Structure 1
Amino acid sequence: MEPQRRKVAGPVAPSSMKAARKSFMVTNTYVKNLTPDKEIVAVHTSAPSIEHRSHHSAQNQIYQGEVNVLSIIDTNKDIMCCKYTEDTREIAAGFTDGSIRLFDCMNGNCTHTLMDDECRSYPGPVTAIKHRPVSKAHPISNTILSSYVNGCIKCWTYKYNQCIYTIREKRQTLGLCYHPRFTKFVTYGDDAKLNIQRKGIIDGHTSRIFACVFNPKSHHELISGGWDDVVVCWDDRQPFATKYFTGVHMCGEGLDFDKPGKQILTCSWQDKDSIQIWDYGSCKLIETIVPDNHNCKLYCGKLVPQTNLAICGDRMFNTE
């Protein structure tokens, strides 16, 4: 197969580019039916000049419905990614200078800073933070795995601010993904290749890969997507891609499986058809979702477990 890119590639986030808001918030949310006249509340505050400050008012945020904001943490550096720890007591944020900071979800205080000599000498933005699946077979290990634009993949034990091991790839590593039930993971980057635990023949993508997710009902199957407008299906027992579908332009983690592993959610960086549901077996489109009257180019999206809901996100642009 020779998939061809049909659209201009989406934006990249080099270390010199402001790629994210310098704040994030920790929330408890649930969904309820909203009345048509539900008030939309906007709160504006000034940005503090110091890091690790937590407060309970939102900065330039508009929220609607039953959202309980626990804390908002302002930082003096751009945030590229974040992830809850295994016990959900802390949230780890990756920054453009190559550092990772962990914040207490209850009070917003910074509890740990993860940065070794290599990160200081050869800084590169953190592109992803993940932890291995938690189960009876794989109990909480107090570790996280992180990837960097400079090609490093590091495993940290954050309780001791220590790097356990480092994998160095000769490329820009743009992300990684764990299997939901096993300890194996896959990395992806700007060379259009997927690197799994064992080396094999790579086939499928012709440009940068920005999303990858394992099928939760399979030991071996996974899917990936990126700039070439193709979602590719893989089986790590096979030397080549097994199937694919086209028309999905991805610039972030906009792929997800439903729990049975039979349907795929895609959230794409394109003006039309940005949220779609696909049949995994046939790779045929099931439904295109129109969330509102405004077209949005999306970076990321996930299905909410045990519901029929999906959550997605785009980038906010200031036109002033």
Structure 2
Amino acid sequence: MDPQRKTAAGPMAPTSIKTARKSFAVTNTYVRPHVEKEIITVHTSTPQTEKRSHTAQQNQVYQGDVNVLSIIDTNKDIMCCKYTEDVNSIAAGFSDGSIRVFCCHTGTCSNTLVDDETRAYPGPVTAIKHRPVSKAHPITNMLLSSYVNGCIKCWKYKYDQCLYTIREKRQTLGLSYHPRFSKFVTYGDDAKLCMYDEEAQTQERAFYSSQQKNVINGHTSRIFACAFNPKSHHELISGGWDDTVLCWDDRQPFATRYFTGVHMCGEGLDFDKPGREILTCSWQEKDCIQLWDYGSCKLIKTIVPDNYASKLYCGKLVPQTNLIVCGGSDANILRVVDINMNITECCIRNNPGDVYAFDFGTTRRKPRKGTESYKKLSEIGQVPRVSFVTGKRLQTVDFG
């Protein structure tokens, strides 16, 4: 099956001819201090001095109970963001290949992650992740990042040090960690997913199509999203430009199941906690928020929460609630949506740019006991603080 899209739909970067010729390899690199200051303005409010904002700031429109915690404006486009393991800092990946780590309390840039390679062959940062924290996997103070030029770099961010680099011969468009094992998957423009052992820094296997005629068991275009089943050691899903979400099992050679009609341009795939339902937030005008049954790959429901049409890049289920958070283009909107009541609880519209990515921080508010209010039923107070990227801005908000 030929790819259904010929032109770029998502946040794409120009191809670097020099870096595209690099082969897969692992090296150890170290960085030099980077002193160039590129933060323009910083506006923060700590929990003690926090003020609730209901007015527009630089044409932003806030709907519902939205609390602005910090706004960091820079002079370069930001592509992705990720909280550190201790949730005290947040890392932002820029279009020039640099990563800056900001303190959540002050908004100051504490570390800048660049090395000679990212300076010589700059490529936008496509994803920043860290290994899920658990008793088996304690805090390591490390971040893993992917770049459009094919590099995957592991950073000891408190020391501005790159521990190792993996180079892929493709545009690497994202990565996802296994929820339990020290493994991660990368995906890119060659329609393949590659699984790596983090400790050995070696590739274990690849997921791709069998190329059989009239058989859909692999991707045929760029891959932008991947999510592991939280209740399985071996199962994962992926989506991209071929309008197909595929279900994989690393014990099988090719994809086992699929469903179509979902055009992915970002991290818009997520599992619910039991691993039985899939959320898709897709970059399309209609049916952009949908819930699917994982076992049968059948559509459960399509959610239309408001009248603001928005093609979505990213979306996640809020743990232990009936809410989702999603963001996209057109209205440049970030929403909190109640999927049971089919309404938008809170939103931020007219942001400076498309909302490419966001990440959950800590849950600062607990639902009040003994109240029979609508807010308690909607569970809005359980939504964690959210940091999202929009244009050249990194903004952190809280809801409820």
Taking the aligned partners of 1:277 and 1:50, their CA distance within structure 2 comes to 40
Structure 1 runs of 4+ aligned residues shifted over 6 Å read: none
Indicate if the aligned counterparts of 2:193 and 2:206 stay in contact, CA closer than 8 A. Answer: no
Shift of 1:88: 0.6
Please say if 1:229 is aligned against 2:235: no
Indicate if the aligned counterparts of 2:144 and 2:152 stay in contact, CA closer than 8 A. Answer: yes
Provide the residue aligned with 2:115 in structure 1: 116
Give the counterpart letter for 1:53 in structure 2: T
Residue pairs, 1:101-250, within 5 angstroms: 101-197=100-196, 198-200=204-206, 202-203=208-209, 204-250=218-264
CA 1:289–1:317 in structure 2 vs 1: closer, same or farther (change >3 Å)?
closer
Give the counterpart letter for 2:189 in structure 1: D
Q: Which runs of 5+ in 1 are unaligned?
A: 17-48
Provide the residue aligned with 1:33 in structure 2: none
Provide the residue aligned with 1:299 in structure 2: 313
Taking the aligned partners of 1:298 and 1:246, their CA distance within structure 2 comes to 17
Shift of 1:201: 5.6
Taking the aligned partners of 2:206 and 2:41, their CA distance within structure 1 comes to 47
CA 1:194–1:50 in structure 2 vs 1: closer, same or farther (change >3 Å)?
closer
Taking the aligned partners of 1:251 and 1:314, their CA distance within structure 2 comes to 10
Taking the aligned partners of 1:177 and 1:150, their CA distance within structure 2 comes to 18
Indicate if the aligned counterparts of 2:174 and 2:224 stay in contact, CA closer than 8 A. Answer: yes
Taking the aligned partners of 1:59 and 1:141, their CA distance within structure 2 comes to 38
CA 1:165–1:6 in structure 2 vs 1: closer, same or farther (change >3 Å)?
closer
Taking the aligned partners of 1:155 and 1:216, their CA distance within structure 2 comes to 24
What secondary structure, in the 3-state scheme, does the structure 2 residue paired with 1:199 have? strand
Q: Indicate the structure whose relative CO is greater, using CA pairs within 8 Å and at least 6 residues apart.
A: 2
Instruction: Give the TM-score normalised by the residue count of structure 2.
Output: 0.68
CA 1:175–1:152 in structure 2 vs 1: closer, same or farther (change >3 Å)?
same
Please say if 1:290 is aligned against 2:278: no
Shift of 1:64: 2.2
Provide the residue aligned with 2:43 in structure 1: 55
Give the counterpart letter for 2:153 in structure 1: K
Shift of 1:14: 1.2
Give the counterpart letter for 1:293 in structure 2: N
State the identity as a percent. 74
Indicate if the aligned counterparts of 1:4 and 1:228 stay in contact, CA closer than 8 A. Answer: yes
Provide the residue aligned with 2:99 in structure 1: 100
CA 1:227–1:9 in structure 2 vs 1: closer, same or farther (change >3 Å)?
farther
Indicate if the aligned counterparts of 1:6 and 1:229 stay in contact, CA closer than 8 A. Answer: no
CA 1:113–1:223 in structure 2 vs 1: closer, same or farther (change >3 Å)?
same
Give the counterpart letter for 1:250 in structure 2: M
How many residues were matched structurally? 286
Which segment drifts farther, 211-220 or 53-62?
Answer: 53-62
Taking the aligned partners of 2:67 and 2:269, their CA distance within structure 1 comes to 27
